[in-house]
Amino acid sequence: MATSIETCVEEATTRIMDQCKEKNSWPMWTVNDKISKLVPNPRAVPTSWKWDEMKKLMLESAKYVPEEMAERRALMMVNPGFGEVTGPSPYTTDTIYAGFQMVLPGETAPAHRHIAFAVRFIQESGNGFTSVAGQKIYLQQGDLVLTPSWEWHYHGNDGKEPTVWVDCLDIPLHVYARTNFLEPYPTAKVPDLVTNDSPFHFAWSKTQQALDSQDTPRAVYHYLSNGSPFSKTIGAQAERILKGHSVSVARETVSFIYVVRRGQGKTTIRAPTGEATIEWKEKDVFVVPAWSWVTHEASESDDVYLFALTDRSLVDNLGLGRIDYSKP
Ligand SMILES: [Fe+2]
């Protein structure tokens, strides 16, 4: 019986396919399995970037890419699940982009603004700063700073060592919607004032305090502005895992770009696109695709602090959040 249905469908397709093409149409039954899967189907695969290797590459590129282009002196994190970089930007997960960016001592990364929402997690900083919406914010390792959509911003470094951060933007959404554009500011810097109390700045010390106030093996802290997510698209969270502990996390329709803030260990990721165990240490970055079973293991020697950029805001705002608490 199944064979005769298949034969009928095949015949129907053959009879009308050419006519459909002429009339800008297409028989849905030939592609339905590509539209509706039985489980969420990210393209991203579990991937990692080792800090030692990437810092070396950044220092090398900084020898040649001049200060005038410092706002673009970034090494993008390309998820191999999407193949070669052929479009306007790579995907780090299916919904968010990340890269490593470096500003050398004395440099100014020229001012501009864009529709894409950007966040930066500071990996190394002597006296680096971001200026956003007229607020000049000096940044330390582990700090998070926001540059919301269409706010003027520029970056600089008043220290003696390079400042490096992980950049994260909602570019994949704009690639789809074709909505991102930018405007350069007429001068390299925007008039600003130094502030120690900005709504765009999240100091690591407060994050760690929030994590250390929890006494479970896995502590989680969600970054919020006035009790709400700081962006409609990008979210951020930090986690602490006590030394020697292994914690498993329910799978959900959220993807993660993890940055190791402190400590070492490994994470086993069983994603719809494949399985991997990634060993990591301080400042390494790794990706957890959506709908992955995840187990983090902290080493025996030290408690581990992880930071993660996520698309949780986007997923929640669109009502796409699903969590699977069943055991893998
Ligand atoms: Fe920017």
How many Å separate Cα 119 from the centre of its chain? 9
Which residue type occupies 102?
M
Q: Give yes or no on whether 47-202 and 204-324 have one common fold.
A: yes
What are the backbone dihedrals phi and psi of residue 19, each rounded to the nearest 5 degrees, phi first? -65, -40
**What's the CA-to-centroid distance between 105 and ligand 1, angstroms?**
19
d(CA 166, CA 144): 10
**What's the CA-to-centroid distance between 184 and ligand 1, angstroms?**
10
CB within 8 A of 80, min separation 6: which ones? 45, 47
What is the predicted pLDDT for the residue at 328? 66
What is the predicted pLDDT for the residue at 165? 97
What is the predicted pLDDT for the residue at 2? 52
Residues 315 and 291: beta-carbon distance below 8 Å? no
**What's the CA-to-centroid distance between 51 and ligand 1, angstroms?**
23
pLDDT at 327 over 80: no
For 203, counting Cβ atoms within 10 Å of its Cβ (0-12 exposed, 13-18 middle, 19+ buried), the class is middle
More confident residue, 231 or 13: 231
**What's the CA-to-centroid distance between 50 and ligand 1, angstroms?**
24
**What's the CA-to-centroid distance between 153 and ligand 1, angstroms?**
7
Residues 308 and 272: beta-carbon distance below 8 Å? no
Residue 59, helix vs strand vs coil: helix
Residues 115-142 have pLDDT tens digits of 999 999 999 998 999 999 999 999 999 9
Q: What is the mean pLDDT of the chain?
A: 95
How many Å separate Cα 99 from the centre of its chain? 9
What kind and span of H or E run contains 153?
strand 153-157
- Here the tokens at position 36 are 């509706």
**What's the CA-to-centroid distance between 111 and ligand 1, angstroms?**
8
**What's the CA-to-centroid distance between 89 and ligand 1, angstroms?**
14
Residues 60-113 have pLDDT tens digits of 999 999 888 877 889 999 999 998 887 777 899 999 999 999 999 999 999 999
Range scoring the smallest mean pLDDT among 2-6, 76-80, 185-189: 2-6
What is the predicted pLDDT for the residue at 307? 98
Protein fold of 204-324: Jelly Rolls (2.60.120)
Residues 197-206 have pLDDT tens digits of 999 999 999 9
What is the predicted pLDDT for the residue at 124? 97
Domain boundaries, the chain: 2-35, 47-202, 204-324
**What's the CA-to-centroid distance between 60 and ligand 1, angstroms?**
22
**What's the CA-to-centroid distance between 73 and ligand 1, angstroms?**
11
Which CATH number describes the domain made up of 47-202?
Answer: 2.60.120.10
Q: Tell me what the mean pLDDT of segment 9-22 comes to.
A: 91
d(CA 90, CA 70): 19
Cα distance between the two ends of the chain: 36
Residues 184 and 154: beta-carbon distance below 8 Å? no
For 41, counting Cβ atoms within 10 Å of its Cβ (0-12 exposed, 13-18 middle, 19+ buried), the class is middle
